[in-house]
Amino acid sequence: MNEKIEKPSPDESALERINEENRDTLMASLGICFTFISQGRCEAVMKVEKKVCQPFGILHGGASLALAETVAGQGSLMLCAEGEVPAGIQVSGNHFSPAREGETVRAEGTVLQKGRTLHIWNIDIIAGDGRMISSVRVVNSILKRR
């Protein structure tokens, strides 16, 4: 039985605000756009364009890792208390299948561990046809804002 699981609707104004705050940053340069955010879950999409590809037209692994760290960072920010900010301290990924120029990939991040000083995230990067492109683990340190 293949039932579709409905996700809660994201707060559109929050997504618009987050995407606007990322204007003129690495995220905007890579074409990353957040599509869903909640406590412990975050999703974003990125078009596989020439600017994020290796010279032979497939998604660069570094761009995949930047997408994953971006999703984990935004997800951790949602979990932080006032006066705290996340900082990525470890990123490790496995690449399973190439995404080719012209495709769009979706990064689905889920918090695995929400500690007082560390958040551990799993981010799966998936092609539009459902192929697993990469699976990435991100560890964020939670810092006090200065």
Domain ranges for the chain, please list them: 12-144
Helix, strand, coil % in the chain, rounded to nearest 5: 25, 45, 30
CB atoms within 10 A of CB 94: 10
Q: Given 3, 16, 69, 84, which residue is catalytic?
A: 69
43 labelled catalytic: no
pLDDT of residue 10: 54
Residue 135's pLDDT is what? 98
Give the separation between CA 85 and CA 106, rounded to whole angstroms: 24
Residue 93: predicted pLDDT: 98
Q: What is the pLDDT of residues 35-73, one digit of tens each?
A: 999 999 999 999 999 999 999 999 999 999 999 999 999
The CA-based diameter of the chain, rounded to the nearest angstrom, is 52
Fold of domain 12-144: Thiol Ester Dehydrase; Chain A (3.10.129)
